[in-house]
Chains A and B, each alone.
Chain A
C-alpha cells in the first residue's frame, strides 16, 4: 500500500475491515464519529453491515447479537456513550461474546468537553461494569498503531472470547500522520474453530485455562446464552459447584497467555535511575521529553504500554527494581498511576497530571525528570 495521510479514527476503521469486522453498530458521538462514517461507507462494499442504533446501549447490544449470529463486530464511542455501554459490556464478558469497543476518550466527567482529549476512562475500561470479570484494553500511540491494535483487538477478542476495548483518545483519533498500511492479504484474522459435534458441544466448558470456541447461532449448535451464572451448556445455575469453576476459568483465562496479550515498548538506558511509564497520546509528549533529557545528558528509561488491561505487572515491577523513581504522566488526575504504585510502591512514583482537556506537555514531564 502507498503512504497515505490518515487520521487515527480512519486507521481504526481500516483496521477493523482488515481484521474481518463485518458488522458495526454505533451512535454518533464526538470525537469518535469518523469511525462510524468510514465503516458506513466501507462495510457494504464488502457485503458487511452497518447500522446506526437509537443509542449506545442498543449499539452494544446489537454488536453482541451480530456476533452471536456469526459476524465479527465493533462499535465506537466516547465517554458518555462508553458509560451507557457498560451493562452490555459486562454481558459480553459474562456470556463470553467476542466484540471490539473503541473508546475515543474525551474530557469528562459528564458531557465534559466533547472536542478535548482525555485519558479519564482508564479505570472505567477496567471496572466500569459491575462484578468481577476479565478485560483487555489496548492503547495506541500513533495512527499506525491505531490500525495495528484494532486488528490485534479483534484477534484477541476471538481467541479469548472476550470484549476488547481499544482505548484511544481525541488526540490520536483526530491526528493525521503519514502511514503505510500493510497489504490486507498479509493480515490473518483469528478464526475460531468449533471441533465438537452439536451433541458433544459445550459452549462454556469449564476446563481450567480453556477458552471453548463459540458456535454461532443457526448452524446446528442449539444452545442457551445468558447473562446469569450458567453451567457448561449455558443453563442458569445457582449451584456453587457450577459457579465456582466458571469464576475460576473466566477470571483467569488470560493468565497463561499474558505474553500474547501484553504489549509494551521498552526504551531503557543503562544506568538510568529515572523512568517514565506512559501510554496513549501522553506517550508522544513523553518521547519528546525523553529526547531532550538525554540531549542534556540525563539518563532516563521509558516504558510505553500498548496494553493497559490486563496491567503489565511483571514489566512495571521489574522496571521498579531498576530505577529509583517512575514518572507517570496522564491526562487525568491519576488513574494508571494507581496501578504503577501498586507494583512499585507510592514513594517511587511521581505523578504528572492534567485533566483540563489540554495535553501533558513535554516540558511538564521534563520538569518532573529534572525536579
Chain B
C-alpha cells in the first residue's frame, strides 16, 4: 500500500491529513481492500494486474453491491493472486479450475455475485474446457481474463494467447501456435456479455466490468495487459511504460473499427476494444429452478 494509491483516488495525503491507519476507510473504494492483508502485492512494480483490481473494486462500488454478496474465485498464476487483497469472500483454487469451482458455488448461492479472475494460461489452456462449458451452460458468473500473452509466474513461457512469432522462454525461436481470440471464443461458446479493454483504458475497464457484473448470464471481460519482466524483456518491448503506451497505440475502439472501409478492416492489425456481445438468455440457475419445479410435480 503506497501513497500513489491514495493520490489516484484524489485523496490529499501531502499534508498528512489522513493518518496511515485510516487509509482503508478513507474512501468507499479503498474500503474494499483487506485491512488485514499485508501490502504491497506480489506483483512486479509496473504490472498491469493491479489496475484491473482497481477497476473491479470501482465497478463493484459503482453497482452498490455489499462486500458480503461478492465471491471472487481464482485459479493459479499472477492474476489469480488478486482476490486475496480484497475484502470479499475469496476462493483461490487450483490451476485452470476457477470456473468449475465457481459453478458449484454459484449453484449453491445463486444470489451471490460470483466473479472468476483468471490469467490467459489459467483460463484458456489448462482451464479451456471449463471456460467454454461454463459459457455454454450460461452460469451467471463474471469471468475476467487478464491477458498478458504469457505465463508470468513461472517465468515467461508461451501461452494460448502469445502472438505468432513472439518469443518466450519455451519458444526461443518464436511462437508457432496461433493465439486464441478470447472474446470470439466466449461468444461462440454462448456468453451473454463479452467486452475487451486494456489496463491503459482503466475507466473503460470500470464500465465494462460493471456491465458484466450486472449482466444476468455468463459474461467475459478480457483485460489486455502486459508482462514487461518476461514477455517484454524477451521481445525487447522496453519498459512497463513503453508496453503501457503500446496498449494505447495498438488498439482501436469498436466504434472506430466499424467505420473503417472493408479493405482497411481486413488489413487492421490493431486489437479492437469494446463490447462485442450483449444478449439475453436465461441463466443456468434459473433453468434449474424449472427442473426443481418439474421434479416437485409442477409444470411438465
Contacts and interface: CB of A to CB of B under 8 A. Distances in A.
Contacts of A25: 103-104
Contacts, number: 140
Interface in A43-76: 44-45, 47, 49, 51, 53-55, 57-59, 61-71, 73
Contacts of B133: 53-54, 58
- Chain B interface bracket (under 10, 10 to 19, 20 to 34, 35 or more): 35 or more
29 contacts: A41-B295, A44-B291, A49-B288, A53-B100, A53-B103, A57-B97, A58-B130, A59-B100, A62-B103, A65-B73, A65-B100, A66-B105, A66-B107, A68-B91, A68-B108, A69-B112, A70-B109, A88-B94, A217-B89, A217-B91, A222-B68, A222-B87, A222-B90, A224-B83, A224-B84, A235-B36, A235-B37, A235-B38, A236-B84
Given A91-B93, A218-B69, A228-B92, A65 B296 contact: no
A222 B91 CA distance: 10
Contact of B97 (A73, A88, A235): A88
B186 interface: no
B88 A71 contact: no
A283 B109 CA distance: 42
Contacts of A69: 71, 104-109, 112
A66 B97 contact: no
Contacts of A293: none
A65 B93 CA distance: 9
B220 interface: no
B25 interface: no
Contacts of A226: 84, 92
A49 B106 CA distance: 11
B129 interface: yes
B251 to A, nearest CB: 33
Nearest to B95: A87
Tell me which of B83, B89, B90 has the highest count of chain A C-beta atoms within 10 A of its own C-beta: B89
Contact of B100 (A58, A223, A225, A236): A58
A142 B292 CA distance: 32
Interface residues of A, number: 44
B91 A225 contact: yes
A227 interface: yes
B184 interface: no
B274 to A, nearest CB: 30
B94 A87 contact: yes
A218 B71 contact: yes
Given A65-B91, A222-B68, A45 B295 contact: yes
Interface in B72-93: 73, 83-84, 87-93
Contacts of B91: 65, 68, 217, 224-225
A247 interface: no
Contacts of B291: 44
B171 to A, nearest CB: 26
Given A54-B129, A55-B129, A91-B93, A65 B37 contact: no
A68 B106 CA distance: 10
Interface in B231-275: none
A220 interface: yes
Contacts of A227: 92-94
A55 B89 CA distance: 26
B144 to A, nearest CB: 17
Nearest to A94: B94
A23 interface: yes
Contacts of A67: 104, 108
A219 interface: yes
Contacts of B108: 23, 49, 65-71
A226 B133 CA distance: 24
A151 B90 CA distance: 30
Nearest to A228: B92
B104 A63 contact: yes
Contacts of A73: 104
B132 to A, nearest CB: 8
A217 B107 CA distance: 13
A225 B90 contact: yes
Nearest to B96: A57
B3 interface: no
Contacts of B104: 23, 25, 51, 61-69, 73
A120 to B, nearest CB: 25
B26 interface: no
Contacts of A68: 91, 101, 104-105, 108
Nearest to B105: A65
